[in-house]
Structure 1
Amino acid sequence: MFKASIMAAVIAALPAVTVAQANLTAETTSPGSTPHYIDTTLAAVLESAGVASLQITEGATLTNSVQAVAEGQLDMAPAPLILPFLMSRGIGPYSGVGEEKGAELAGNLRALFFTAASAQIFGHYDSGAITDITQLDGLRIWNGPPRGAALTSGRAAVQLLSGLTEGEGYEGIQSPWPDTVSSITGGGADGWTIPEGLPSGRQIAISAAGAITIYDMPSDLLNSELGQQIMNAPGHAVYSVPVDEYRAAYEGNDITIVTDDDTFDSFATAFAQIVPASMDDELAYQVTKAFLEGQERFETGSPRGPYLFLSFGDIDGTSQGVCGAVKMLMHPGAIRAYEDAGHTVADCVRP
């Protein structure tokens, strides 16, 4: 009887062993950014659920992080969707990898969930040289880190606003993410264009050095042929927030918001939370399940919560920006978690 009781206890303990807390490594962007908030909140959610301990390295260049996940050297990272697209072709920051190896690496990536919370903005100090954001000739514009998705989007934004290309009509200023605020507040740029969540701690920090103005992408330019090309480019998604809500998010700071209508419109940087395709199915399921069950924590843990545009519902592929030029498959464990939660998942994201 005693032996039988021990055996029963061992058998009862087996399910707990299969879902024992894992130790996972992750990289994310600098504090104050939307990916940083999402990743640190996810870490808290996973810890609370007993699913995983997520060890996060901050201030990473996501170009490198995406490759590290693809190579199996890192368990998780937020990926601007333009990066897997470029990797799959061995171009841009992955030109040194080559097309064949790039396609192989991109094929090793899987998504757990998606977000499009970082919209491209343009800003400048009110006391600076800029009085018209369409006239940027000869000025110094901070347009991103030294390489990667944000730099691509930043250059596109300046071209849309002014028709200028970097090195010809204006001087592009780049610095690593951790140095962004100091680069701008130190007088190194006349203006800046950055993909930002709402509200952005980075913009609040910049405004502490003097009054600033933030602009969306003007409607006539956004609706132009070039604007639509940029809006529909790989890695971008539509972003629109009522301007009153946008202004309210920065209330109390020396920040003016300028739009040409009643909404703040721009192109968002579409992201996927990526893991290696080889991640254990049950682990991917438990991580995604905890993410979905943590919706309230994501949405109420920060003023930016309501504007994360995280994929807590059905996955249609189009809204997430992954069923067109960008191909990003979901992990089977993540798909199971979504379906168990009652959500539909489009065929185009299934492995």
Structure 2
Amino acid sequence: MIKTVIIGAALAIAPIAATAQATLTAETTTPGSTPHYIDTTLAGILDSAGVATLQITEGATLTNSVQAVAEGQLDMAPAPLILPFLLSRGIGPYSGIGAEDGARLAENLRVIFWNSGSAQIFAYYNNNPVEDIRALDGLRIWNGPPRGAALTSGRAMVQLLSGLKDGEGYEGIQTPWPDAVSTITGGGADAWTSPEGLPSGRQIAIAAAGGITMHDIPSDLLASTLGQQIVAAPGHAPYSLPVEDFRNAYAGNDITVVTDDDTFDTYATAFGQIVNASMDEDLAYRITKAYLDGERRFIEGSPRGPFSRLSFGDIDGVSQGACGAVQVKMHAGAIRAFEEAGHTVADCLRP
């Protein structure tokens, strides 16, 4: 179910201040996900700082959210960076827009900060185990929502593990994000793959119906030509974490984590928090400044905070999944806030 949450006091009752508190619209993913945590935390920080009231719609399809921000119909959204890439070329979910209009719309996008906290995992129920994650023939695998960045990443995971393509050797199951847990717990899939923050509320909810096993990418597959192509693909970034940290994040839940070494290795979904290029520079500056000032609240406000990989330091572009195939720029107001805080911003990110 799509749900709208208004966070912050209404302007009509806000205290009079030298700079009026703005009311902004935003869309995010379902509760329990990293983007949802970031967006709702940001909303609280912006309200406390008197910068803005965010009216957040939960459970959104980010493919649509990115286009809405580019068209000026939405103020803010978390964007998997593959989406600005696809929009700029008018391909994939944006093929109906076309290359020329897609490039024009993509030029309207600006990033105010970054994160890459969602790591791609592969999992199944222990009472219906996958005996060999390299042999997935004939299985029904939930691999994402009906379209968008997560589906592209999910299909890539299955292809890397088994060499199979969706519809050619396995049946890909897709449902909107709000229906993912019920589809899996209801027996609608034999296994699943999705980008997850740590710890993932979605995986914990799935495990509440029965123990699950979660895998990373085996080292030889990750090091293969295809593996490295996927890690470097638009919208992805490398992800590696000590496996004990990964397991400890799920302590108390019936979740088994399997790796072939001492680290959980996969690829992350690189995100940029996007606004339209037309956003007032001072407003973008104040939003970003509040974000940077709120670092402790982001890190300590949830068990997933320390693993969210938020951008509270220098921005080199490459580590954020940009300045390669993805050519999205930062908002000038955001750059000003980062530099004022003593951080450097790569030239390739300047508009």
TM superposition score normalised by structure 1: 0.95
Structure 1 residue ranges (4+ consecutive) displaced by more than 6 angstroms after TM superposition: none
Give the counterpart letter for 1:121 in structure 2.
I
| Alignment partners' CA distance in 1, 2:305 and 2:66 | 25
**SS in structure 2 of the partner of residue 170 of structure 1:** strand
Aligned equivalent of 1:22: 22
| Alignment partners' CA distance in 2, 1:34 and 1:177 | 13
C-alpha deviation, 1:131, in angstroms: 1.4
> What 5-or-longer segments of structure 1 have no aligned partner?
1-14
**SS in structure 2 of the partner of residue 123 of structure 1:** strand
> Cα deviation per residue 1:131-161 (whole Å; 9 max; x = unaligned)?
1111100000000000000000000000000
C-alpha deviation, 1:129, in angstroms: 4.4
Aligned equivalent of 1:271: 271
C-alpha deviation, 1:16, in angstroms: 4.0
| Alignment partners' CA distance in 2, 1:102 and 1:151 | 20
Aligned equivalent of 1:62: 62
Aligned equivalent of 1:297: 297
| Alignment partners' CA distance in 2, 1:99 and 1:62 | 20
Aligned equivalent of 1:345: 345
| Alignment partners' CA distance in 1, 2:187 and 2:302 | 30
> What 5-or-longer segments of structure 2 have no aligned partner?
1-15
1:234 paired with 2:229, answer no
| Alignment partners' CA distance in 1, 2:242 and 2:55 | 36
C-alpha deviation, 1:322, in angstroms: 0.7
> Cα deviation per residue 1:63-113 (whole Å; 9 max; x = unaligned)?
000000000000000000000000000000000000000000000000000
Give the counterpart letter for 2:294 in structure 1.
G
**SS in structure 2 of the partner of residue 274 of structure 1:** strand
Give the counterpart letter for 1:106 in structure 2.
A
Aligned equivalent of 1:143: 143
**SS in structure 1 of the partner of residue 111 of structure 2:** strand
CA RMSD of aligned residues (A): 0.8
| Alignment partners' CA distance in 1, 2:271 and 2:222 | 21
Aligned equivalent of 2:37: 37
1:210 paired with 2:210, answer yes
| Alignment partners' CA distance in 2, 1:208 and 1:306 | 24
Pick the structure with greater CA Rg.
Answer: 1
| Alignment partners' CA distance in 2, 1:218 and 1:37 | 29
Give the counterpart letter for 1:235 in structure 2.
G
Identical columns (%): 76
1:76 paired with 2:83, answer no
Task: Please list, as runs of the form range in 1=range in 2, the aligned pairs for 1:153-164 lying within 5 A after superposition.
Answer: 153-164=153-164
| Alignment partners' CA distance in 2, 1:207 and 1:134 | 23
| Alignment partners' CA distance in 1, 2:213 and 2:264 | 13
Aligned equivalent of 2:309: 309
1:281 paired with 2:281, answer yes
1:117 paired with 2:113, answer no
TM superposition score normalised by structure 2: 0.95
1:127 paired with 2:145, answer no
> Cα deviation per residue 1:291-329 (whole Å; 9 max; x = unaligned)?
000000000000001001010000001100110000110
Give the counterpart letter for 1:31 in structure 2.
P
C-alpha deviation, 1:130, in angstroms: 1.3
| Alignment partners' CA distance in 2, 1:205 and 1:132 | 24
| Alignment partners' CA distance in 2, 1:306 and 1:241 | 12
Aligned equivalent of 1:152: 152
1:108 paired with 2:83, answer no
Aligned equivalent of 1:181: 181
| Alignment partners' CA distance in 2, 1:16 and 1:323 | 39
Aligned equivalent of 1:245: 245
| Alignment partners' CA distance in 2, 1:25 and 1:218 | 41
> Cα deviation per residue 1:182-237 (whole Å; 9 max; x = unaligned)?
00000000000000000000000000010100111111100000000000000000
**SS in structure 1 of the partner of residue 69 of structure 2:** helix
